[in-house]
Amino acid sequence: MSATAFRANIHPAVEGGLQLEVTRVSVQTSSVTTITLGDPSGTPLPRYVPGSHIVVQYGDGANAYSLTGSGSAPFEYAISVLRVEDGVGGSLAMHRLAPGDRVRVSRPRSAFAPVATARHHLLIAAGIGITPMLSHARAAAEWDAAASMIYVYRPEAGAHVPEARELLGAALTECTDRGSFQKELTEKLTTQKLGTHLYVCGPAAFMDTVLGHAQELGWPKTRLHSEPFGTPALDEGQPFTVNLVRSATTLEVPAGVSLLETLEKAGKSIPNMCRKGVCGECSVSVLRGTPQHRDLYLGEEEKVANTTMMCCVSRSLDQELELDL
Ligand code: FES
């Protein structure tokens, strides 16, 4: 890919961010590539807390990727991208990047930070969900914090396996089949010391299994932390009307176009990050009407309250919605 391929309009998700250069591209597996980015002048990059991600612009789109480093004094940001042949998230464009290409990225944002008071960090990753966990594991090693990991991957398809082995040693449990994972999960969930926090990243069904099992075994929700990837494709939804009360503006949100995109087209600058209903950045206040919540960020009680919604994925159950914008 030439450097000009990324000279598109600046995507709202990377406004105020950084322009970086691809310094290395390395193959992890047949479908996962690690892309390392640095400042073209070699200056240090902003620090970040473990588990952070950046949004990377590709053409006119943008997608969020977890940073795999510990975040302390970084000269480089490394992300690992799973190629999704029929996806819409830009992974194919990311896989075409080559050293020397320039990309616009957001500043790192944290949505999945380790809990400083945890006595032990139990990290559970599936597939490309290893990426934020690697960041947590590196940070734990730097801070001398207690951590262990279960990493589930398909045989021959595990990304970052050698690094995980080096970082965690005997505290790493690798599972390549469902049976062994279930056994290890139960064993780990029932033998943790008090004050352990659990972090899970993987496909939604995997995370549901882990979090559901933990709760059945009595883990309080306050000690469970999750970051989904590969959020299920959402249907295009029904058209609806949105009234922006403070701006005295009415907008039509067509089927297949998100409320966030509609607001952006109308010149509204809405903070956002993942654009997948995960990070909570694009929250807007609802004054009237019933949102159709489709995000993974709000808790059940917040969804029932209907006073806030994630405009990147959520829509309206009513013909009209009134927002505090
Ligand atoms: S941008 Fe992340 S939840 Fe909407």
How far is ligand 1, taken at its centre, from the CA of residue 282, in Å?
5
- Structure-model confidence comparison of residues 234 and 294, the more confident one: 294
* Chain mean position to CA 75: 22
Backbone phi, psi, residue 174, to 5°: -105, 135
Give per-residue pLDDT as tens, 250-280: 999 998 889 999 999 999 999 887 777 777 7
Residues present in the chain in total: 325
Q: What is the pLDDT of residue 77?
A: 98
Is 60 exceeded by the pLDDT of residue 230? no
Q: What is the pLDDT of residue 226?
A: 85
Is 50 exceeded by the pLDDT of residue 3? no
Query: Of the ranges 67-76, 217-226, 242-251, 268-277, which one carries the lowest mean pLDDT score?
Result: 268-277
pTM across the whole model: 0.76
How far is ligand 1, taken at its centre, from the CA of residue 26, in Å?
29
Give per-residue pLDDT as tens, 12-70: 678 789 999 999 999 999 999 999 999 999 999 999 999 998 888 888 777 888 999 99
The partner residues of 304 in beta bridges, in order of sequence, read none
Q: How far apart are CA 39 and CA 45, in angstroms?
A: 7
**What DSSP line would sit under 150-206, residue for residue?**
EEE--TT--TTHHHHHHHHGGGEEEE-SHHHHHHHHHHHHTSPPTTEEEEEEE-HHH
Asked if residue 235 is part of any domain, the answer here is no
Q: How far apart are CA 63 and CA 243, in angstroms?
A: 28
Q: What is the pLDDT of residue 300?
A: 67
* Secondary structure in 3-state letters for 282-299: CEEEEEECCEECCCCCCC
Domain C-terminal end among 228, 253, 280: 228
Domain C-terminal end among 68, 91, 110: 110
Is 50 exceeded by the pLDDT of residue 5? no
- Both 263 and 309 in one domain: the answer is yes
Asked if residue 215 is part of any domain, the answer here is yes
Check which CATH number belongs to the domain holding 136 and give it. 3.40.50.80
Quick one: average pLDDT of 225-241?
75
Give per-residue pLDDT as tens, 175-219: 999 899 999 999 999 999 899 999 999 887 898 899 999 999 999
How many structural domains compose the chain? 3
- Both 102 and 124 in one domain: the answer is no
- Both 11 and 105 in one domain: the answer is yes
Give per-residue pLDDT as tens, 106-161: 888 877 889 999 999 999 999 999 999 999 999 999 999 999 999 999 998 999 99
With the most atoms of ligand 1 within 8 angstroms of its CB, the residue from 276, 298, 302 to mutate is 276
Ligand 1: residues within 6 Å at CB? 272-275, 277-282, 295, 297, 310, 312
- Structure-model confidence comparison of residues 297 and 150, the more confident one: 150
Asked if residue 234 is part of any domain, the answer here is no
What domain range is 146 assigned to? 120-228
Where residue 73 falls among pLDDT bands split at 50, 70, 90? Answer: confident
**Is residue 40 classed as helix, strand or coil in its secondary structure?**
coil
- Both 100 and 48 in one domain: the answer is yes
How far is ligand 1, taken at its centre, from the CA of residue 70, in Å?
24
- Both 171 and 224 in one domain: the answer is yes
Asked if residue 295 is part of any domain, the answer here is yes
Q: What is the pLDDT of residue 110?
A: 79
- Both 211 and 262 in one domain: the answer is no
Q: What is the pLDDT of residue 216?
A: 96
Strands 320-323 and 102-105: unpaired
